[in-house]
């Protein structure tokens, strides 16, 4: 068996199920991927945190969200000082 080339492992139907890559080639691939990573690693929470406070809404938005989202009647009327 030669270890200088990439080898594919197949199942009995001929479908590729694995790959053997020489370790030196794998290390080179890892270095190139790390150097060319165009996207910063962010999570969904990072995105949501960045959006917090960026939306303007009525002062009773939290209490009356059904009214604003679905058109349901308001549950109560509260006077909010402006």
SS3 label, residue 24:
helix
Using a cut of 0.85, tell me whether the model's pTM lies above it: no
Place of tokens 């590729």: 16
Run of H or E including 46 = helix 44-51
| Domain residue limits, the chain | 7-70
**C-alpha atoms less than 13 angstroms from C-alpha of 33 in its C-beta half-sphere:** 6
- Alpha carbon 40 to chain centroid, angstroms: 11
Per-residue model confidence as pLDDT tens for the chain (82 residues): 455 688 889 999 999 999 999 999 999 988 888 888 776 778 889 888 888 888 788 888 889 999 999 999 998 766 666 6
């Amino acid at each position: 068996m030669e270890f200088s080339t990439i080898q594919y492992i197949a199942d009995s139907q001929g479908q590729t199920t694995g790959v053997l890559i020489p370790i030196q080639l794998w290390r080179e691939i890892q270095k190139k991927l790390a150097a060319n990573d165009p996207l910063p690693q962010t999570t969904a929470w990072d995105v949501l945190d960045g959006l917090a406070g960026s939306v303007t809404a009525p002062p009773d938005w939290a209490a009356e969200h059904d009214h604003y989202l679905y058109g349901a009647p308001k549950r109560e009327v509260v006077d909010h000082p402006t």
